[in-house]
Homo-oligomer: A and B are copies of this chain.
C-alpha cells in the first residue's frame, strides 16, 4: 500500500506536473484548441518533445489535462438529517457548476465523445463525478432505511439533479436557488 508505485523518476513527476498545470490553464482560458504541445511547452518552459514523451498525441494530452483538472470532491455532508444533507450537496453542485470550469470541460469531452469512445467514457466519468456526493447521500439514506432499498442511487440522482445540469450545460441558462429547492423537494417526496 505504502509502496504505491511512486518510485517514478522525480524529474518525470515534475515535468508531468508542470505540463499539466500549464495545460489546465490553457484549457480554461482558451478552450480545447489551446491545449497544444507547443503552447504548453512555452507556458511550462519545457521542450515540446518532452511533452510528446509523456503523451503520445493531442487526444491523450487533452484527456490527461481534464483528468488533472478534476479535483477530487470533498466528502458528502453528513449531519444525520438526510434532507438537509441532500440540499447541501445540491448547493455544492450548483457552486461547482458555476465556478465556470465545468462547462468547457464538459463541452470538450462531448465534442470528442461523438467520435471517440475513450472520450465518451471520460464524459460519463466526469458527469458521475459531479453527482457523486449526491449519490453518496442517497445511498446513506437507503442504508438508514429512509429510502426503499430498491431505489437506484445513480438513477435517482440523475432524475433529481439532472435538470440543473440540463439548464447549465444544454440550454446555457443560469441555475438558481429555485432549481435547488425543487430538486430538494423531489428528494423529500421520495423520502417518506
Contacts and interface: CB of A to CB of B under 8 A. Distances in A.
A159 interface: yes
A176 interface: no
Interface string A85-129: 000000000000000000110111011111100001001100100
Interface string A146-187: 000000000000110011011101111000000000000000
B171 A111 contact: no
A111 B114 contact: no
Given A120-B172, A169-B170, A170-B162, A104 B115 contact: yes
Contacts of A158: 166-167, 171
Contacts of A108: 111, 114
A138 to B, nearest CB: 16
A159 B178 CA distance: 13
Contact of A163 (B32, B159, B169): B159
B163 A112 contact: no
B113 A171 contact: no
Interface of A: 29-32, 103-104, 106-108, 110-115, 120, 123-124, 127, 158-159, 162-163, 165-167, 169-172
Given A127-B171, A165-B166, 11 more contacts: A32-B111, A104-B115, A106-B110, A107-B111, A107-B112, A110-B110, A111-B111, A113-B172, A162-B162, A163-B163, A163-B166
24 contacts: A31-B111, A31-B112, A31-B115, A103-B110, A106-B110, A106-B170, A107-B107, A107-B110, A107-B111, A107-B112, A108-B111, A108-B114, A110-B169, A113-B172, A120-B172, A124-B171, A127-B171, A158-B166, A158-B167, A158-B171, A162-B166, A162-B170, A166-B166, A166-B170
